[in-house]
Amino acid sequence: MTDLNKLTLKEAREGLLSKKFTAVELTQSCLDRIKSLDKKLNSFVTVTGEDALKQAQSVDINLPLGGIPIAVKDNYLTKDIRTTASSRVLDNYLAQYDATTIKKLKNAGAIIIGKTNLDAWAHGSSTETSDYGPTLNPWNMEHLPGGSSGGSAAAVAADETIISVGSETAGSIRQPASWCGVVGFKPTYGRVSRYGVIAMKSSTDSPGPICKTVDDAANLLEIMSGSDPFDATSIDEPPWKKPELRQNLKGLKIGLPLSYFPPQTQPEVKEAILGAVETLKKLGAEIIELSDVLDPKYSIAVYTILQRSEVSSNLARFDGIRYGHDRSFFGTEAKRRIMLGTYSLSAGYYDAYYLKAQKVRTLICQDFDNQFKKVDAIIGPVSPTTALKIGASEGQSMFGEIQDMLVEPSSIAGLPGISIPCAFDKIGLPIGLQIMAPQKREDLVYQIAKLFEDNTDYHLERPKL
């Protein structure tokens, strides 16, 4: 059987269990794809190669992910595999332990084939701030993959891996998933442990899956989720379980916020979302236009202040004494964020900036609470545009915040959300539909996304590489 790397998680599991191919053959197929593509695509910072094949030889394929190759964003600590956060500060850093999520993936039988590229320290939405060079978009290599989980999204879109994991702080799962035409499932804050994930903005960091289908993402989230005694912010509940699929969407009210189409929205993006609305209507959903949703532009300022403040604290540990190189190895973006965060937290400015941002964050959370009294879920574009060209972020200090403005509010509020392919623009770049629900309602996000996917063909399209 050829092109095993192109299989979904479900297909790969069925093939392994029926002995149509082996875990070694599946892993080798992904490694061959990486070898042929990645010098140009640059999805990976580190490829495990022989170690991955060695694991594949002895893996128990009866485990939930037994024999499945997985790509891991390079801000997850992985014992004995280099972890860099795409920064030269950690160029040769080997973690002494696995992140909780990595432990769960290994215990489930997953085979880590490599660590994927990201914006350094996850600072960005383009993967251009990586100290190891930008990742390119598999649909058009003149364009960006998004970020910060750009390497994970591009690796899935290019069939370099069967599944991958990313992390989202303000859109870093859903936005690159949208730009790369794959599925990115951002769970409720605390649903998946942050322990062992290099902290960026601790109060919104959310690890999650990036996959080829909604079912793949849901199946992976089941394994990643669950309470963790090492993470005080993890939800004290058993692992999330995928619910039964609904027959239709009858009885569901889905909100469409008019403020989620800002002036810079690409006409094809708006057209795609309105097309998705018609599909959801045919499935039985009642679509309700929401005219009073807090404008997402306010999330830009809130996120900017809070994120920079937490960055200035979280990056203080990287001083070159305990691990890694000294602070002269920080890139321009990291230095900019540290300085702005330190300023926001300094005496005389704390109340004016940080405290006020926290108050507005509360208003954003309250606004979602009010909207969910009227509707069961909310939909909209993931990003105002499709993937922009390489170099678009240069000289744009607020590039990430503007590209993420439509996913920032739900991340700030800790809500679950998903990005699924819903159309393509005139030059063939993917467009993503985001679905959001109240906290801990991943079941609703999954059901709506799965029914949409089952009644459209966008997820079946693959880039021509």
172 counts as catalytic: yes
CA dist 175 and 406 (Å) reads 9
Judge contact between 241 and 191, C-beta under 8 A.
no
CA dist 224 and 272 (Å) reads 31
In sequence order, the 6+-apart residues with CB closer than 8 A to the CB of 278 are none
Taking the model in full, what pTM does it have? Answer: 0.97
CA dist 147 and 129 (Å) reads 10
CATH number of the domain residue 403 falls in: 3.90.1300.10
CA dist 397 and 410 (Å) reads 22
149 counts as catalytic: no
Q: What is the 3-state secondary structure (H, E, C) of 230-242?
A: CCCCCCCCCCCCC
- For 256, other C-beta atoms within 10 Å of its C-beta total 21
Give me the residues of the chain with pLDDT under 50, please.
none
- Domain of residue 396 covers 4-460
Q: What is the pLDDT of residue 1?
A: 63
Q: Which of 148, 152, 344, 393 is catalytic?
A: 148
Q: What is the pLDDT of residue 315?
A: 95
Partners of residue 253 on adjacent β-strands? 286
Q: Which of 73, 201, 212, 450 is catalytic?
A: 73
Which three-class secondary structure state does DSSP give residue 421? strand
User: Residue 256: phi, psi to the nearest 5?
Assistant: -120, 100
The residue among 120, 92, 79 whose CA lies nearest residue 320 is 92
Q: What is the pLDDT of residue 447?
A: 98
Has residue 440 been placed in a domain? yes
Judge contact between 316 and 89, C-beta under 8 A.
no
Has residue 116 been placed in a domain? yes
Peptide bond into 149 cis (omega under 30): no
CA dist 443 and 7 (Å) reads 25
Domain count of the fold of the chain: 1
Has residue 40 been placed in a domain? yes
CA dist 270 and 350 (Å) reads 39
Has residue 394 been placed in a domain? yes
Has residue 57 been placed in a domain? yes
Has residue 465 been placed in a domain? no
Q: Which of 87, 152, 172, 225 is catalytic?
A: 172
Q: What is the pLDDT of residue 400?
A: 72
Has residue 304 been placed in a domain? yes
Q: What is the pLDDT of residue 461?
A: 96
Partners of residue 114 on adjacent β-strands? 47, 71
Has residue 111 been placed in a domain? yes
Which amino acid is present at 379?
A: I
130 counts as catalytic: no
Judge contact between 390 and 143, C-beta under 8 A.
yes
